[in-house]
Amino acid sequence: MAPGPDAESVRSATSPEDEDVIAGLYKPSFKREFTNLATISFAFSIMGMCSSIATTFNTPLLLGGPASATWCWILGACMCFTLGASIAEIVSAFPTSGGFYTASAQLCPKPQRALTGYIIGWLNILGQIAGISSTEYGLSLMIWAAVSVGTGGSVVVTQGKIVGLFAGLLVVHGLLNSLATRMLARITTGFVFVNVGATILIIIVLLAMTGKENMNSASYVFGSEGLVNQTGGWNGGIAFLFGLLSVQWTMTDYDATAHICEEVKRAAYAAPSAIFIAVLGTGLMGWLLNIVLVLCSPPLDQLPGPSGLAFMEIMHQRIGTAGALVLWVPVVATAFFVVQTALQAASRTVFAFSRDNGLPDRKYFAHISPLTQTPLRAVAVTTFVCVLPGLLALASTIAANAIFALTAMALDLSYIYPIFLRRWYANHPDVMFKPGPFYMGDGWLGFAANWICICWTLFISVIFSLPTVRPVTKDTMNYASVITVGVLVLSLLWYFVQARHHYVGPISDIEPSAAHGADGSYSKTPSRDALPEQLDTDIKDSKEPAN
């Protein structure tokens, strides 16, 4: 996309390091207003530690038992460390709004680039939309749970009320994401303190308010006493592994930080560092929170309680109604922040995909508002589409739960394919992978991390495709895999029928000489017919020293 009238002001807000990176593919379209702290806060917020655990804690606790909640978290977190590090490595090398969609098209041979980029782009957008919908739906549940507890259960919470609030909250988030980048950066900076602070506060208060006589034994928290199969038919091993849903759903959307890279100062350094710090911090603090929740939990037959959320019921019984509601405020705020950051990231993905002709919109959603320097059209369409999955909850709560599983499955699959390509085509002449500042090296560490996360993601995708309750009926069926495969099939059909005629992969909008211009000026946008061959030249030239 050619820069608008404010191109000079955009370039002036961009550091030399970022100019060099963007010159490899695109002209700057955004103002870089996100500092290191704002970027770290964004990365932490997208995972929403305490709020994500609050909305998914029922699954490990009530399907596999308390020990499943404890051990599956740290097991999944360790695997997520390898995935987070692998993602950070690629984001450092390709810090653009397209994220892994852009990277995947550059990590495979020329004949595969268009199809690879197209599939990964749609899979990533699917996962992000599902993530926003499920988080917003969880936020609606959390608010109604507080109403239920606060009124002593006198207010009847219906699916209509939940979905109605869900849709209203999405509109609010859409409006907030219409603000200028500077305002978004300022708002985001404080998210991390609420997120981490709420988690620490809940841990301290629960331990202080739960008497020793009410705390569960070590065997209940870590041992065989805590293995309780309540799936209705699955064996104990499968029931235990269902506990992975909570950690995998919480610790996903790592690449959201990549999608705001064009708004981050020194993005090749700041974005991958923020991802790694957030993954490490969320994994360790989340495990501690899970241990404390199980340690302080009442008997299983009293959960999830009237609110429908075991997390809320544990606080209600141990702290009291007033205390639980007070602590619930920052938890709800954290969930609100998750959607805020996730919607920003998803709209940037839609913008980038439209910029490269990946959407049948003639680049309509790649428009940057001259007023806010943000993609308002992409924000609007993303907000609208995110409402649709939530409407499934009107038909079935099982369908709503499938959206939770779909989030981790679709996003993680879109992550591992570029990681696989980076290893599989490491020595291919068409693949130009130049490591960024965050790099695990060519030795065993990077190799092991990459392949472990690939194998792990394929494994959990199978687990997340299984219905969590047996016997399986139309109401208990897990539709996550069906939706994922359906979107992949439809995207493939559309590609071969129509998209292949106008989509050729990520399109560079600068001439090779622009990357080396002594005056920093840009030449005219190259025609689409010159690509993707010219894209290879652009990238190679941008990574060679100027004469």
Q: What are the C-alpha distances in Å from 329 to residues 142, 299, 314?
A: 10, 25, 16
Give dist(CA 353, CA 412) in Å, integer.
19
What does the pLDDT read at residue 157? 83
Which amino acid, residue 328? W
CA 130 to chain centre: 10
Helix (H) or strand (E) holding 135: helix 110-150
**Each residue's pLDDT expressed in tens, for the chain with a length of 547 residues:** 333 334 333 333 344 444 444 435 666 677 788 888 989 998 998 888 999 899 889 999 999 999 999 999 999 999 999 999 999 999 998 888 777 878 888 899 988 888 888 888 888 888 888 889 888 988 998 899 899 888 887 888 888 899 999 999 999 999 999 999 889 888 888 888 999 999 999 999 999 999 889 999 999 999 999 999 998 889 999 999 999 989 988 887 777 888 888 888 888 899 999 999 999 999 999 999 999 999 999 999 999 988 888 999 999 999 999 999 999 999 999 999 999 999 999 998 999 888 888 888 888 998 999 888 889 999 999 999 999 888 877 776 666 666 666 777 778 788 899 999 999 998 888 887 888 899 998 889 999 999 999 999 999 888 888 888 888 877 777 777 787 788 788 888 888 888 788 788 777 665 554 443 333 333 333 333 334 444 444 444 444 444 3
Identify whether the C-beta of residue 116 lies closer than 8 Å to the C-beta of residue 421. yes
The CA distance from 101 to 75, in Å, is 28
Helix, strand or coil, per DSSP, at residue 34: strand
What pTM was computed for the model?
0.83
Instruction: Tell me how far apart the alpha carbons of residues 139 and 56 are, in angstroms, rounded to a whole number.
Output: 12
Residue type, 484: T
Q: What is the pLDDT of residue 527?
A: 36
| Residues 11, 3: Cα–Cα separation, whole Å | 10
Question: What is the reported pLDDT for 60?
Answer: 93
Which two tokens mark 377?
């059209």
| Residues 203, 289 contacting (CB under 8 angstroms) | yes
What is the token pair recorded at 392? Answer: 């499934």
Res 468: pLDDT: 84
